[in-house]
Amino acid sequence: MERRIARVNISSAGGTASSDSKTCKITLPTTWVEALGITEKRRELKLTFDGTKIMMSRILSGSEFAEQQLAQGHEVRALRLYDRNALCSTIYADFTAQTVIVENQAVPTIKTAFGNNLLPNWEDFQRFLEDRCIPRQRAGLREYLETLGLDEYDPLAIIEKTGGRMAEDQQWLTIEVLK
């Protein structure tokens, strides 16, 4: 592991920022950036802050994420959200590590699985699944589950049976177990 000391460049923010706003930047060694696979065309990074450390990593494509997780023996599924016949989002979900990656298509943000949230976590994914199902507190839930052939409320199992179709919209899902 290579280590270096860097200085944070702090300067006044320009544009429409308030007069006391600051911009912070750090210069990274080119060899590190190249090793991450960062190019001028593909230069977005995911930043994670835990209160004491900032971690940077290249944003993986859904297929790269799936390949990486499958190589570790994880259970990975691809869920595709459609609005009528237009693909809106593909969600790659690792059920072993409980992590997700989403790839949105060029459709209105409101049609995508997580809206403006481009880095959803497992809780966001679970909420999304429940939003595509009958509510847990709905009267007649037991009869509904029996009709589907389910013993308990399981959003993923419900979506596998119903395609996540809701009366309020034209959206639906497919689920593929990746191997």
- The per-residue pLDDT string of the chain (179 residues; one tens digit each, 9 = 90 and over) reads 889 999 999 998 888 888 889 999 999 999 999 999 899 988 889 899 999 999 999 889 999 999 999 999 999 999 999 999 999 999 999 999 999 999 999 899 999 999 999 999 999 999 999 999 999 999 999 999 999 999 999 999 999 999 999 988 999 999 999 99
HEC letters along 89-148: EEEEEECCCCEEEEEECCCCHHHCCCCCCCCCCHHHHHHHHHHCCCCCCCCCHHHHHHHH
**Among the listed residues 101, 103, 73, the one whose alpha carbon sits nearest the alpha carbon of residue 88:** 103
Q: Which amino acid is at 132?
A: R
What's the CA gap between 100 and 94, in Å, rounded? 6
Sequence letter at residue 36: L
pLDDT at 103: 97
pLDDT of the residue at 42: 86
Instruction: Report which residue type is found at 38.
Output: I
C-alpha span between 128 and 119 (Å, rounded):
13
Q: What does each C-alpha distance from 115 to 36, 92, 108, 127 come to in angstroms? A: 28, 16, 9, 13
Per-residue pLDDT at 43 = 87
pLDDT at 20: 87
The residue type at 152: E
* pLDDT value of position 19: 83
Is residue 44 within 8 Å of 53, Cβ to Cβ? no
